[in-house]
Amino acid sequence: MGYQVAIHAQDVSSGRVEAVLRALTRAASAADDYTIVDVAVAYASTAGVRLLDGALTDPRWDRASKRFLVSVDFGITQPQALDRIAQLSNSEVRIPNASQVLASPGLLPQSTFHAKAFIFRGTSWSESCASVMGSANLTASALATGSEIVVGQSWSSRPSRSERRQLQTLRNTIAWFDDAWATAVPWCDIRDAYRDAYRGKPRPRKPPEERTAATRQYLRPTAGPDVSSSLTIQLANARHLWIDTGAISKNRGPQKPGNQLDTPRGTRVFFGFESMRVPKNHNFGKVQMRVRRPGTQFVERSVRFGNNEMDKINLPIPEQNGLDSYDHSYLLFTRLAPDAEAADRFELDATDERAVRDLKSAAVNSLDLTMASGRRYGLIF
């Protein structure tokens, strides 16, 4: 395999969610039988620690000796997060510049600790190892929803001469980590003092990046076990939703074209509704929708959770909008405005696969998905 390097960019506005988390799981996989994990971050949150521990589920993570350098600069890191890190198997937490920061009434450092590095390795440099470095802290925002860029690197066992030169940069990073670790203070020694200082801050409860709209949406309860947090955040930020309709049921009678579209559970989020679980036949509310044709007007359409455990969209009456039916077409829903005043306005276009493919080609990103029935749908950003 040799030396591998990859850049991972994360940005919810373009649907790139959990890119940092995936980079970390790939690094752990590339490091084969790693036995040591070294992490240095400026800030940590309980949600971030939970995400990391939940993503690294193989026995190597439990067995590995873990060192976490986490700052308390500015009182941003949650004490509960440091407790949770310390409770991981074979884990130790130390705080850089702890004495100086705690001596400051505002927890202000003389020099900020702003490192972000995750390193997976063995005891010998002849073994495979991997690292992820960049802008990401140990928070849910950094791992999943924030705008972040990290670089993942991995080295196979028995590296070549050129690979060993690249590996020297990682060895230099470990030497820096060892120096910082030697002067850092164990978390257990300052735990009570930091908890008191943290409580005394005006608004201490969460790191600022954890309070963003995207992260709050990501951490909310989801619509069911088959709807992931990453998909809900992508649904909330997509500009377009497309669905291969197949044959729509004749809900208006055998002689009239149907206008009730079954969509996957969670699709409601695209239309501005919450992702939490609800009982069957729950009515989420109404949106303003118009068919993309000259002279059409906005009409109120309902969104609900059906008895078949799918989200149901009540479409505009087809024949009132110059359409024979919605059957066997590609329906393209477009969010018309991102601002709150027009958040419930959507445009509907009955089109074909080629038009959807062309729109995806021109977009910054897209996501193709498949329902349990085999019908296709997707998001375009």
Task: Report the predicted TM-score, pTM, of the whole model to 2 decimal places.
Answer: 0.89
Task: Count the Cβ atoms, other than its own, within 10 Å of residue 44.
Answer: 29
For the chain, the first-to-last Cα distance in angstroms comes to 34
With the C-alpha atoms ordered 193, 196, 198, 200, is the resulting torsion angle positive or negative? negative
CB 55 within 8 A of CB 21: yes
Determine the average pLDDT of the residues in 23-48: 97
Confidence of residue 225 (pLDDT cuts 50, 70, 90): confident
pLDDT at 147 over 80: yes
Confidence of residue 204 (pLDDT cuts 50, 70, 90): low
Q: Per residue in 118-139, pLDDT tens?
A: 999 999 988 899 999 999 999 9
Task: Count the Cβ atoms, other than its own, within 10 Å of residue 186.
Answer: 13
Q: pLDDT at position 366, please?
A: 98
Q: Per residue in 275-304, pLDDT tens?
A: 989 999 999 999 999 999 999 999 999 999
* CA 142 – CA 23 distance, rounded (Å): 12
Say whether 61 sits in a helix, a strand or coil. Answer: helix
Instruction: Give backbone dihedrals phi and psi of 183, rounded to 5 degrees, phi first.
Output: -100, -10
Confidence of residue 252 (pLDDT cuts 50, 70, 90): very high
Confidence of residue 338 (pLDDT cuts 50, 70, 90): low
Burial category of 325 from C-beta neighbours within 10 Å (exposed 0-12, middle 13-18, buried 19 and up) = middle
* CA 333 – CA 101 distance, rounded (Å): 52
Which residues, at least 6 apart from 322, have a Cβ–Cβ distance to it below 8 Å?
291, 293, 296
Q: pLDDT at position 341, please?
A: 59
Which residues, at least 6 apart from 103, have a Cβ–Cβ distance to it below 8 Å?
none
Q: pLDDT at position 223, please?
A: 86
CB 4 within 8 A of CB 160: no
CB 151 within 8 A of CB 132: yes
Would strands 260-263 and 311-314 be described as parallel, antiparallel, or unpaired?
antiparallel
Residue 140 to residues 47, 75, 148, 211, 221: CA-CA distances in angstroms? 5, 17, 12, 10, 15
**HSE (side-chain half, CA atoms, 13 Å) at 347:** 13
* DSSP letter (8 states) at residue 338: -
Find tokens 């002849």 and name the residue: 126
pLDDT at 230 over 60: yes
Return the exposure string of 354-381: e unless at least 16 CB atoms fall within 10 Å of the residue's CB, then b.
eebeebbeebeebbeeebeeeebbbbbb
CB 142 within 8 A of CB 136: yes
> What are the structural domains, with CATH classification, of the chain?
3-209 (3.30.870.10), 220-380 (2.40.330.30)
